[in-house]
Structure 1
């Protein structure tokens, strides 16, 4: 009898620990429009020689007779797995809307809104290298009992150190052309460092997303964060360069990166069945020739989207109005925490 009681108590203890061990991987795709996610490639842009330097190959790979087929070709994991097992919000043609609340509709204010749950239009109003005065959900979680020293952030843009305010928050942020921050870098991380150093740089402040993904993957294996942010940026930078072929190729590649992250969590006991993914963007962009740009002067730049999948996927009706300022509190709630701030923040979506 005593043995049965001990086993029962032990199992209850394991269940309790599992509840404390909830994990979230938060992924952002900089400036990816809801139109590509839900409708696939924009044929007008794909057939424009000014924006598509490899038209024949791009159309062969991503074109199809219907929008449904085109979106499945562009983002195959999103539509084969996330759409079937998770939550997708932001298809405006079906009455599902996600919008920014910040006044600017470009990156630093967009990420600050995402990470802090608050649009600080007075103090966060540029892309200047200034430490964020607001507390992010990363910083908040890093101060909690369950998630202290178990928060990591990876980003292709070197601004993320400032957006997350790594000096104050003490959250390790690997961004831009930084090497691995792992106190005991693995052989793979040393190889990534060297390969990145020897790779030509297209943008001075933004590294290619493959390096961000490699660092993030290695961190899952060696550092085991409970909350990790991975911010890919090529979709925005190639857009500003006017290269639609590279924009959609990057979106397709990031879809594969997300699949890789997910498949790793499914074979690692530390993450398996305990990890929820939250995926979104920091802003939208314009249509037609304005596709290259985004600001508060461009229609569509404030329109975004959200995807969530994993064991804690919210059971809600996506055909409603949502906002990017709700995501920080949603992440905290998925982890069993309540994000509190000095500022009024957006409520969780569920």
Structure 2
């Protein structure tokens, strides 16, 4: 259970005690796998364009199609869609979000989620909540301040809709803080509102964990989160995972993940029986580990990008050192006038 919770980057780990196999998950708001190009599906118009159609049937059809393409490429989960708001035209991720209006956003996103459910693929709708100002790389630990009325009526509303009205099986928490508390470590959000008020039974995963100290796994577990996307280097928990309290929290976290996985399969089976469309029946397949060539290629891509980043950093440092040396050579001491030079 600890591995299932702490090692949730691109896969959800197996849980042998109940026969749960490993699943693969892919990113891409308008195309399964678009972040890496490995096992990528059709590139659809982005969420903003889809929202401009006001066509909820089209949104549902897109969700079903992305779900089918995900399964065809060996993915069981989708890190999408995204239902934050167009709070500012300068938001660096507006292309992932539907609109500035929470109702329109909730309706369009909810139908995409329903379509993916019908295909038997679970979604992690993101970013819960108020990740509406991200630009460049400035996203970690941003403080977001607002009244509770504003939070509930505007920013939480589309998430409430997809949970209560559209059967969302999974959510992804956001990088930012709400007030002074990181959203992914907020018990008020993860448990009190999401589960106690809205009746959510699925799984909440964190966004990619850039900094383990800030996006802390212990905070996630204590708040009621289910999966910690701790990155390429799996994180560790500070609390004693053999204690009765930690085991109870890990069991609850695993329960939500298992519910998410099994619920979409149940929805898929009901959809096939209701429509008679056997082509939509979710195929059974095993997800191998790192021997899979696509995951191996993904790892090579990541290593290549890391070397590129280190090379660029080295060039920048070298340029600064050269500039500093040139500046030092240019600073020559002026000759001091001696007695013999004074006439």
The answer, yes or no, to whether TM exceeds 0.5 is no
Instruction: State the structure with more CA Rg.
Output: 2
Higher percent of residues as strand: 1
Higher percent of residues as helix: 2
Name which structure has the greater RCO, CA cutoff 8 Å, separation 6+. Answer: 1
